[in-house]
Structures are given as structure tokens and as C-alpha cells.
Structure 1
Amino acid sequence: MRKTPQRRGALTAATLLAALLASGCASMDRCDRNTAVGAAVGGVAGSVLTDQSTLGTVGGAVAGGVLGRGRGC
């Protein structure tokens, strides 16, 4: 799969946004922080894996949030 400049820029922007959002989680407890980070990473992964499909992005965010929350919370 070839990455176009627009796709590479969108992926870079999404990654930076996820990093900024994760840095704002300092006052959250461990479970909330893991949920937020999981949702952000899952959303980016879902977007990349489904060629920026909205359904793939939302599905990835939901799955990432659930997996990030884990069983220990």
C-alpha cells in the first residue's frame, strides 16, 4: 500500500493529537487514563486499517476503549 502525502499527513496529525490528549490525562485515575489512551490508539488504528472509514475509526475507538479499560478496573 502506497502512502500519499495527504494520508501521511493525516496519520501524523492523528498521532500527534493522540499524544496531546494522552498528556492531558495526568489527573485521571489509572482506569480512566487507560480507557482514553486505548480509545485514541484504537481510533487511529481503525482509521488506518480501514482506509479512513468513519465506521472503522469509531469501531476502533470503541474497541480500544474497552480493551484499554481492561478487567482490573
Structure 2
Amino acid sequence: MKKLLFVAVAAAFLAGCQSDSQTDRALVGGGLGAATGAIIGAAAGGGAGPALAGAAIGAAGGAIVGAATTPKNCVAYDRYGNPYRVVCP
């Protein structure tokens, strides 16, 4: 029970690390995916093998989703030449 609480607290702290960097989001997504996959793998299989497999699958999936969901920010200019950020099309 204490391990599950520790993982939940760690996940909450990692989720708070929001960043617009694609690398940062891939790392956080991979970490959260690995933790979640390890918990599900251990609960489903009851051993180290399924937990490691779940962690590997979760890490890969989380990294892909984290990198793919990074918002793309572009710079546009108003009629006075002042730059501002907009979402890229």
C-alpha cells in the first residue's frame, strides 16, 4: 500500500512539470507510462517479468504520446511589428 501511495505522489509531482519542450514532455510521459505499466504488470502477472514488460511498454507509449502532444508555438507579428505567440497550423 505504501508503494502505491509513493507512486501516486511521484506521478502527481511529475504531472506538475508541465513544459512546452518536446523532449521534456517525452521524458515525463515516459516516466509516468513506465510507472503505470509497472504497477499494472505487477498486479496482473504477480512477478518481476510482467512488471518489467509493463514498464517498458508504458515508457515507450508515454514517450510517444508526450512528444506528440507538445503544443507547437509560432511567432506572428501584428501590424506594428510586435511579435506574439500563436499556435502553429
User: Could you say which TM-score interval applies, normalised by the shorter chain?
Assistant: 0.5 to 0.7
Partner residue in 1 for 2:37: 42
CA contact (8 A) 1:46 1:58 kept: yes
CA–CA separation in structure 2 for the residues paired with 1:42 and 1:18: 12
Aligned ranges 1:20-31 → 2 under 5 Å? 20-25=9-14, 26=17, 29-31=24-26
1 or 2, which has the higher helix percentage?
Answer: 1
- Relative contact order higher in (CA < 8 Å, ≥ 6 apart): 1
Give 1 or 2 for the bigger CA radius of gyration. Answer: 2
Equivalent AA in structure 2 for residue 59 of structure 1: A
Q: Which residue of 1 aligns with 2:83?
A: none
Instruction: Give the aligned residue type for 1:13.
Output: K
Q: Which runs of 5+ in 1 are unaligned?
A: 1-11
When the two chains are superposed, the root-mean-square deviation of aligned CA atoms in Å is 2.1
Corresponding residue for residue 82 of structure 2: none
Q: How many residues align?
A: 61
- What is the deviation of 1:62? 0.6
Q: Secondary structure at the match of 1:24?
A: helix
Q: Which residue of 2 aligns with 1:32?
A: 27
Tell me if structure 2 keeps the 8 A contact 1:43–1:59: yes
Structure 2 segments unaligned to the other structure (5+ residues): 71-89
Deviation above 4 Å: which 4+ runs of structure 1?
none
Q: How does 1:1-73 map to 2 (within 5 A)?
A: 12-25=1-14, 26=17, 29-51=24-46, 53-70=47-64, 72=68
Q: TM-score if structure 2 supplies the norm length?
A: 0.57
